[in-house]
Amino acid sequence: MATGRRTARAAALPRGRLRLLLPGLALSATLAAPVARCEERAPGAVLPGTGTIENGLFREGQDGIPRSWAQMAYDGRASRFSWSAPGDAPGIATIASDQPNDASWVQRVAVTPGRWYLVSAWMRAVDVGASGAGARLSLLRSFRESEQLRGTTDWRRVSLWVQSGADESAFDVACRLGGNGAVATGTVHCTGVAVEAAVPPDLDAPGVFADPQLDPRTSRGLALGTAALAAGGLLLLAWRLLAPETWRFPP
C-alpha cells in the first residue's frame, strides 16, 4: 500500500511545476532535432538539392558539342572528341587518343569556398595504355583526381571528395585521359557527372582532398609547433635572466 501511495504522489505532479517543465522539454527537443538529423548522415554523404553542374548527363547540345562543356587538349590533332545523346537516355562524351595526349571534356563549376563536395561520374575505359595518366575524373590545375581506369573496363562510378580552398570559388571539372607530363592513349567514355555539397568525409579515407589551410590535422600541427616554439623561447628567456652569468648560453 505504501508503494502505491508513493507512486500516486509521484504521478500527481503539481500543475504549476508541470507548466514550467513543458517549455524546457519542448526547447530540448527542438535543439536536439537538428543534431539528430546531422548524426543520421554518414561522413561524406551528399546534401540533397546541392548539385551545381550543368548538363551532367550530356543530354543537351548541338553541333557535336554538349551544352556547358568544352574540349581541351595538349595536342589538338592527337585526340578525337565526340558526343552522342540517344533520346531520353543519358548522353555520352568520348575522348579517343590514337597518339599520346592529355585531353579532357571540361566544365567550370561554381563552388562555395571552404565547403566539402562530392565530385563523381560514370566512366568507361577502352584500350587505355599502361603508361601515362589513365582515364579519370580530375580537377584541372591540381592533383585532385579520382582513381584511374586502365585497359578496358565496364562502366564504373568514380569519385573524389574535395574541400574547396578558402579563396576558391570554382572547380574546373574534367573527364580526362592523360595528364600534364603523363600523356596517354586509348578511349574514355563519360556521363553522369555530378558536383554536390557533402558532409565532411573521413579525412583518412582514399580519394579525400582537404584544403591544407583548412585541414584540422594541419591546423593542429601548426598550433602545436607554434606552442612549442613559444615555450622554447620563454625557457631561453628565463635561463638568460635567472641563471648565473657563467652558465648563460648564448652569452
The string of pLDDT tens digits covering residues 34-60 is 434 444 678 878 898 888 999 999 999
Mean pLDDT score of the chain, rounded to an integer?
82
Q: How far apart are CA 43 and CA 50, in angstroms?
A: 16
Q: Which amino acid is at 148?
A: Q
- Whole-model pTM: value is 0.70
Residue in the structure block whose three cell numbers are 505532479: 13
Strands 103-110 and 70-73: antiparallel
| CA torsion, ordered 199, 205, 207, 213, to nearest 10 deg | 70
SS3 content of the chain, % helix, strand, coil (to 5): 25, 35, 40
Q: What is the model's pLDDT at position 95?
A: 98
Q: Which of 81, 87, 100 is nearest to 183 (CA)?
A: 100
Q: What is the model's pLDDT at position 86?
A: 81
Q: Which of 92, 102, 103 is nearest to 64 (CA)?
A: 92
Q: What angle do CA 185, 76, 188 make, to 5 degrees?
A: 35
pLDDT at 199 over 60: yes
The string of pLDDT tens digits covering residues 127-186 is 999 999 999 999 999 999 999 999 999 999 999 999 999 999 999 999 999 999 999 999
pLDDT at 221 over 50: no
- Is 225 in a helix, a strand, or coil? helix
